Amino acid sequence: MDAIRGPDAGTLLIRALRGHAGAAGLTMHVESIACTPWASATFVGTLHRLTIAAMPVPGLRDWIEALPEAEFAMRGHIVADLVVDRIESIGDREHVTIAVLTLIDA
C-alpha cells in the first residue's frame, strides 16, 4: 500500500471479498493472491488469482456460486469479471480458487 495513493486493487479486492462474506454471515481468509497488470486498448487493470479458505458451514456453497454475479464496492476500481476456477475440500476447510479482473474506474 502506498501511503499517498492508498490501497492497491489487490488489497481493496480482499477487503471487498471479506465484507461480502461477512454480510452473508461467513468468515473467509485469503491463503494466496497473485496480481498481474492487465491492459486492453481501452482499459487498464489487474488480473488477480486468489485462493480463499473457509469452514464448510451452511450457506458457503451458495455464497461461492453467487460470487460471479456479486457487486463489490472498491474505491477507484470495478470488478469486470470473476470466475470460480476450483473448489476443493482440504482438511476441515473449503479452498476456493478464483480469478478476478479489476479495472481502474477513472
pLDDT (mean) for 72-98: 95
Q: Return the pLDDT at 22.
A: 96
State which H helix or E strand residue 65 sits in. helix 60-66
Closest C-alpha to 14, from 34, 3, 29: 29
**pTM, whole model, 2 decimals?**
0.90
CA distance 101 to 79: 6
Backbone angles phi, psi at 21, to 5 degrees: -65, -45
- State the cell numbers at 37: 497488470
Per 3-state DSSP, what percentage of the chain is helix, strand, and coil (rounded to 5)? 25, 50, 25
Q: Return the pLDDT at 71.
A: 94
**CB contact set of 59 (below 8 Å; sequence gap of 6+):** 24, 25, 26
Q: Return the pLDDT at 2.
A: 47
